[in-house]
Amino acid sequence: MKATGAPGTAVATEQKPATVQVQDAASGGAALEVTARPVGGAGASPGYLVGVYDQGQPGGAAPKLLGSFSFYPPRAGVAQTFVIPRSQLDDMLSKGKATLSIKLIPANPAADIKDAAVEILGARIR
């Protein structure tokens, strides 16, 4: 995984998505595996989803939602691994290299999740 920001990690919030490069996307794997952990005010924040998008090509179509996951209950610093099945990834996998955009989405649109953040520890095709 390559991520913007500090080497080896990327942090996603509602306001600022994390950008993650997945190499060897055409390796024929069955799913996308994302390892993440809540950081910051995760425990005190209202519920949220973590949306995983295929960022697509520059100047191309809008990002496509590949899948989402959530922590229940969110425990700051505790990493979990989530799997998005291949059926959602076919377009992305055909490119060989994928750029993911990962951001937080409020479970309740009226809720304020500004203190919530998720650190993306890894993303790979398996």
- b/e 94-113 (16+ beta carbons within 10 angstroms → b): eeeebbbbbbbebeeeeeeb
71-119 pLDDT, tens digit each:
988 888 899 999 998 776 766 666 666 789 999 999 999 988 888 999 9
Q: Is the pTM of this model over 0.85?
A: no
4-55 pLDDT, tens digit each:
334 457 999 999 999 998 866 666 677 889 999 999 765 567 889 999 998 8
Which residues on adjacent β-strands are paired with residue 81? 35
- Max CA-CA distance within the chain? 41
Supply the pLDDT for residue 43: 59
Go through the domains of the chain in sequence order and give each one's CATH number.
2-125 (2.60.120.260)
Cβ atoms of 125 and 15 within 8 Å: the answer is no
